[in-house]
């Protein structure tokens, strides 16, 4: 039986500070599921996320509205929220590893904002600390989005030991 | 998860309707997924998006819906929203018609066709509301009646029509 969740592409990297998945959106789908997992080489810093415009250029203008709840097994929860920010903090840098899923609405529709649901969980070797994350993001410019980028906010030594992402279209 | 999603029913609203009903839930699948996309109300600042289950295609409006959400938003402290014994499941804050003020949701439905179990929902939702603030519900709901549920009915409170939107029901292949 034909199914309605179709694999589009995947990308991966080792010892990199960012991962870009290009040309993963098209007019064939309007909703996408993206699975991702990584392990960091550090236990500090946050993982950031941005969209790529129709030319493949990273969108770093203050065009994102975001809200995320960082749920820690070992401490109080932290609320991350911002209006007109330059990217989306998607999770924490986890050397135990982290896995999650994004659901993205409307990326290829040049007449709509792009919306994103995010959930993930990961941990660090320092006391085996778990961090779960639930969040939302919108890119509030109506334009065609062609891809995505994950990157480590600390840069330098705060890179990914590995990272991989797979994109699926929902018909 | 790859290749595991089967489309059961879909309605694309392009002119105003009072509600949308999607049916086809039965014992073929244990878990169903409801995707709601780009919902815009006909009237600004009138009502929240709501959901009722259907039994034999008829919406059940009895006071058997409970929910609990953490509400995320971009402009202030997050807060809890919960209720019990309501006549429908709440799916959003008050909807608006301004630029970008559309509604998205990803909902999983459990036990629906099982006449001996309650029907449970996990809810992930986001929208620009009528302010417009960017908000999202994260949590779950339950229909506390052990009955055979065959679908969902989606509408906006206070008799507000749905001007546009896309509603798709999937089964998760066993």
Nearest to residue B49, comparing CAs of B111, B120, B129? B129
- Report the C-alpha gap between A94 and A92 in whole angstroms: 6
Report chain A residues whose CB lies below 8 A from the CB of B108: none
Q: What is the pLDDT of residue A156?
A: 58
Cβ-count burial of A30 within 10 angstroms (0-12 exposed, 13-18 middle, 19+ buried)? Answer: buried
Looking at the DSSP bridge assignments, the partners of residue A164 are A12, A37
Query: In the 8-state DSSP scheme, what is residue B161?
Result: P
Compare all CA atoms of chain B with the CA of A168 and give the residue at the minimum distance: B2
Q: Does A43 touch chain B (CB under 8 A)?
A: no
Pair B171, B8: CB distance under 8 Å: yes
CA distance to partner chain A, nearest, from residue B129 (Å): 13
A99 φ, ψ (degrees, to nearest 5)? -135, 145
Per-residue model confidence as pLDDT tens digits over A22-63: 999 999 999 999 999 999 887 677 899 999 999 999 999 999
Cβ-count burial of A72 within 10 angstroms (0-12 exposed, 13-18 middle, 19+ buried)? Answer: middle
- Report the C-alpha gap between A113 and A30 in whole angstroms: 12
Domains detected in chain B? 5-172 (2.60.120)
CB count, 10 Å around CB of B162? 24
Could A33 and B128 be called an inter-chain contact, meaning their C-beta atoms sit closer than 8 Å? no
Cβ-count burial of B98 within 10 angstroms (0-12 exposed, 13-18 middle, 19+ buried)? Answer: middle
Q: What is the pLDDT of residue A94?
A: 80
CB count, 10 Å around CB of B19? 16
The per-residue DSSP string of A123-160 comes to EETTTTEEEEEEEEEEE-S---EEEEEEEESS-TT--E
Q: What is the pLDDT of residue B41?
A: 97
Q: Does A140 touch chain B (CB under 8 A)?
A: yes
- CB within 8 A of B89, min separation 6: which ones? B50, B51, B52, B65, B67, B121, B123, B141, B143
- Report the C-alpha gap between A69 and A80 in whole angstroms: 6
Q: Where do we find the tokens 């179709």? A: A6
Could B75 and A30 be called an inter-chain contact, meaning their C-beta atoms sit closer than 8 Å? no
- Report the C-alpha gap between A71 and A78 in whole angstroms: 7
Assign B1 a pLDDT band (cuts: 50, 70, 90). Answer: very low
Looking at the DSSP bridge assignments, the partners of residue B104 are B126
Could A170 and B5 be called an inter-chain contact, meaning their C-beta atoms sit closer than 8 Å? yes
- Report the C-alpha gap between A95 and A92 in whole angstroms: 10
Per-residue model confidence as pLDDT tens digits over B54-105: 999 999 999 999 999 999 999 899 999 999 999 999 999 999 999 989 999 9
Spans of all domains in chain A: 12-170
Mean pLDDT score across all residues of chain A? 92
The interface predicted TM-score (ipTM) is: 0.94
Could A67 and B35 be called an inter-chain contact, meaning their C-beta atoms sit closer than 8 Å? no
Q: Per the omega criterion (within 30 degrees of 0), is the bond before B163 cis? A: no
Could B35 and A31 be called an inter-chain contact, meaning their C-beta atoms sit closer than 8 Å? yes
Per-residue model confidence as pLDDT tens digits over B95-135: 999 998 999 999 999 999 999 999 999 999 999 988 889 99
Cβ-count burial of B128 within 10 angstroms (0-12 exposed, 13-18 middle, 19+ buried)? Answer: buried
**Is the pLDDT assigned to residue A17 strictly greater than 50?**
yes
Report chain B residues whose CB lies below 8 A from the CB of A1: 6, 173
Q: What is the pLDDT of residue B2?
A: 45
CA A33, B73, B70, A44 torsion-angle sign: positive
CA distance to partner chain A, nearest, from residue B70 (Å): 9
- Report the C-alpha gap between A16 and B94 in whole angstroms: 43
Pair B161, B144: CB distance under 8 Å: no
Q: Which CATH number fits domain A12-170: 2.60.120, 3.30.300, 2.60.90, 2.60.40?
A: 2.60.120
Per-residue model confidence as pLDDT tens digits over A55-96: 999 999 999 999 999 999 989 999 999 999 999 999 887 888
**Is the pLDDT assigned to residue A10 strictly greater than 60?**
yes
Report chain A residues whose CB lies below 8 A from the CB of B7: 4, 171
CA distance to partner chain B, nearest, from residue A157 (Å): 31
List the single residue in A1, A119, A168 with the smallest CB-CB distance to B2.
A168
Report chain B residues whose CB lies below 8 A from the CB of A69: 70, 72, 78, 138
Report chain A residues whose CB lies below 8 A from the CB of B101: none
Q: What is the pLDDT of residue A154?
A: 67
Assign A155 a pLDDT band (cuts: 50, 70, 90). Answer: low
Could B1 and A67 be called an inter-chain contact, meaning their C-beta atoms sit closer than 8 Å? no
Prediction pTM value: 0.95
């Amino acid at each position: 039986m034909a199914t309605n969740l179709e694999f589009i592409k995947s990308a991966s990297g080792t010892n990199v500070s960012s991962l870009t998945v290009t040309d993963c959106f098209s007019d064939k789908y309007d909703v996408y599921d993206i699975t991702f997992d990584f392990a960091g080489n550090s236990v500090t810093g946050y993982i950031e996320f941005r969209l790529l415009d129709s030319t493949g250029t990273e969108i770093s203008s203050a065009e994102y509205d975001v809200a995320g709840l960082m749920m820690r097994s070992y401490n109080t929860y932290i609320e991350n929220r911002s209006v007109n920010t330059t990217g989306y903090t998607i999770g924490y840098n986890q050397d135990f590893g982290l896995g999650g899923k994004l659901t993205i609405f409307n990326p290829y529709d040049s007449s709509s904002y792009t919306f994103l649901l995010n959930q993930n969980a990961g941990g660090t070797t320092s006391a085996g600390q778990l961090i779960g994350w639930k969040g939302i993001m919108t890119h509030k410019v109506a334009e065609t989005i062609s891809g995505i980028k994950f990157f480590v906010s600390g840069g330098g030594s705060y890179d990914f030991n590995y990272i991989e992402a797979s994109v699926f279209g929902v018909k | 998860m790859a290749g595991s999603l089967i489309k059961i029913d879909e309605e694309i609203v392009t002119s105003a309707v009072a509600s949308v009903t999607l049916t086809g839930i039965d014992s073929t699948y244990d878990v169903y997924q409801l995707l709601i996309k780009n919902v815009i109300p006909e009237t600004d600042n009138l009502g929240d998006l709501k959901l009722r289950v259907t039994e034999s295609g008829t919406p059940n409006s009895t006071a058997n819906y409970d929910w609990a959400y953490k509400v995320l938003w971009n402009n202030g402290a997050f807060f809890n929203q919960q209720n019990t014994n309501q006549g429908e499941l709440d799916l959003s804050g008050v909807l608006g018609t301004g630029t970008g003020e559309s509604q998205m949701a990803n909902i999983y439905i459990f036990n629906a066709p099982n006449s001996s179990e309650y029907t449970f929902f996990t809810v992930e939702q986001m929208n620009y509301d009528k302010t417009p603030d960017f908000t999202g519900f994260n949590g779950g709901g339950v229909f506390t009646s052990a009955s055979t549920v065959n679908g969902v009915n989606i509408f906006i409170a206070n008799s507000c029509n749905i001007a546009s939107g896309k509603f798709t029901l999937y089964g998760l292949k066993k």
